[in-house]
Amino acid sequence: MSSIISRKFLHILIIVAFLWLVGCQTAPSTFAPKGTAAAQIGRLWWILFGLGTAVYLVVMGLMLLGLFRPGTRLPFALNGRRLIIVGGLIIPLIILIVIYGFTLTTLNALAPEKNQGLLTVEVIGHQWWWEVRYPDQQVTTANEIHIPVGQPVTLKLASDDVIHSFWVPELHGKRDLIPGRVNDFWLQADEPGEYWGLCAEFCGTQHAKMLFVVVAEPQAQFDHWLSQQQQPAAAPASELTQQGLDVFIDADCDSCHTISGIDATGDFGPDLTHFASRLTLGAGAVRNTKGALAGWVVDPHGIKPGNLMPSSDVSGPELQALLAYLESLE
C-alpha cells in the first residue's frame, strides 16, 4: 500500500515539475521559440508529444478495460489475433512512418546548406568561454554573438580543447564543437532581443558557467556595432586610464589577453579590445559591472572556481586604475 502511495506521489511530483518547467519564465525555453529553426523543432516536439500521449492513453484504456471489464468486445471485431495485427503491427507502423516523415522533413529544412547566411561567424569553444570571430570583418570578441535580426547567419563551430556543445534554446537545437573539425551551423532570430546560450556537453569544472548571449538587432544597429568593434581599442584618455594600462602590462595581463592597438597579443583568454561593451563577465558568470570586475580581477575563483585565470596581486590604487582603463574599452 505504502509503495502505491509513494508511486502516486512520484507521478504527481513529475507532473508538477513538468508544468513548472514549461511555465518557467526566466530560463530560455524551447517552448517559446524566437527563431524559425527553434519553431520547427518545437513543432516536431509537439507532434511527437501528441502521438506519444495518444498511444499512451489508448494502451492504458485497453489495459483498464482488461482489468475491470474482462471479456468486453472491442469495435470492428478487434479481438484476439486481429487486435495483435492491427494494434500491434499496422497502427505502430503507420505512426512510425508518420514520425519518420516529419523528422526527415524537419532535418532537411534545418540543414545548414539550405540556410546559408550573408554573414559568417566562427565560434570556438574553450574551457570555459566562447571565442567569437567575424573573419570577413576582422572582428574578435567573446561570449557574445551579435547578429542581424530576421535572416540566417552562418556559424562555423570549432573547439580549442575538449568537446563542447552550442545551444541557444530559443533559436535552434544543439550542435557539438569538436576538436580538430569545423561543424556548420546557423542561427536566425525573428525578433530583436537578447537570447541566452549555453554549453550543453559536460566539458569540465566550469561547464555550468559556460554561457553566452546572442544579441539580435536590426541591421542598422548591427552594422553600427560591427563598425565599432572594428576600431582599435580606445587609447587612454586620462592619467588614471594610462596608469591602468601600465598596470595591465606590469601584471602580465597581456600574456593571455589581446587588446588591439596596444602591444597586447595574448590569445589564451578572451580578446578585451572592446571589453566594456559586453554584457557579461566570465562567460555569463556575472553581469559586466565595475564591482563585479573588481571581484573578478582580484579573485576570479571566488566567482568561477577552477577557471583558468590566475588572481592578480594588485594594490588598491592599482586596481582602481586598472578598472578605469578596462571600463574605458567601449
The continuous run of DSSP H or E covering 198 comes out as strand 193-199
Q: Name the residue nearer to ligand CUA (CB basis): 159 or 229.
A: 159
C-alpha cell at 283: 562567460
* Subset of 114-173 contacting ligand CUA (CB under 6 A): 125, 128, 164
Residue 259 as a binder of ligand CUA (CB under 6 A): the answer is no
The sign of the CA dihedral 123, 133, 117, 222 is positive
Q: Name the residue nearer to ligand CUA (CB basis): 128 or 325.
A: 128
Total residues binding ligand CUA (CB under 6 A): 9
- Binding window for ligand CUA (CB under 6 A); candidates: 103-111, 140-148, 194-202, 242-250: 194-202
Q: Name the residue nearer to ligand CUA (CB basis): 210 or 319.
A: 210
β-bridge partners, 139: 134
Least distance between ligand CUA and beta carbon 210 (Å): 4
Q: Rounded CA gap, 300 and 293, in Å?
A: 9
Q: Name the residue nearer to ligand CUA (CB basis): 126 or 274.
A: 126
149 neighbors 231 (Cβ within 8 angstroms): no
- Which phi and psi (to 5°) does residue 259 adopt? -130, 115
Closest CA to 175 of 191, 159, 189, 160: 159
- Binding window for ligand CUA (CB under 6 A); candidates: 46-54, 88-96, 200-208, 293-301: 200-208
- Binding window for ligand CUA (CB under 6 A); candidates: 84-92, 105-113, 203-211, 284-292: 203-211
Given 199, 215, 283, 322, the residue binding ligand CUA (CB under 6 A): 199
Q: Rounded CA gap, 177 and 200, in Å?
A: 10
Q: Rounded CA gap, 307 and 287, in Å?
A: 17
Residue 207 as a binder of ligand CUA (CB under 6 A): the answer is yes
Closest CA to 321 of 233, 251, 242, 237: 242
Given 193, 202, 218, 231, the residue binding ligand CUA (CB under 6 A): 202
Closest CA to 257 of 159, 126, 119, 120: 126
- Binding window for ligand CUA (CB under 6 A); candidates: 148-156, 202-210, 244-252, 296-304: 202-210
Q: How many CB atoms lie within 10 A of CB 12?
A: 10
95 neighbors 55 (Cβ within 8 angstroms): yes
Q: Name the residue nearer to ligand CUA (CB basis): 40 or 159.
A: 159
319 neighbors 297 (Cβ within 8 angstroms): yes
With residues binned 3-state (H G I as helix, E B as strand, rest as coil), the percentages for the chain, rounded to 5, are 45, 20, 35
Given 201, 217, 271, 318, the residue binding ligand CUA (CB under 6 A): 201
Q: Name the residue nearer to ligand CUA (CB basis): 128 or 225.
A: 128
Helix (H, G, I), strand (E, B) or coil at 88: helix
Q: Name the residue nearer to ligand CUA (CB basis): 157 or 253.
A: 157
Least distance between ligand CUA and beta carbon 115 (Å): 24
Least distance between ligand CUA and beta carbon 308 (Å): 13
End-to-end CA distance of the chain: 66
Least distance between ligand CUA and beta carbon 207 (Å): 3
Q: Name the residue nearer to ligand CUA (CB basis): 156 or 207.
A: 207
Q: Name the residue nearer to ligand CUA (CB basis): 201 or 271.
A: 201
String marking each residue 291-310 x if it binds ligand CUA according to CB under 6 A? --------------------
Q: Rounded CA gap, 65 and 91, in Å?
A: 20
Contact positions toward ligand CUA, by CB under 6 A?
125, 128, 164, 199, 201-203, 207, 210
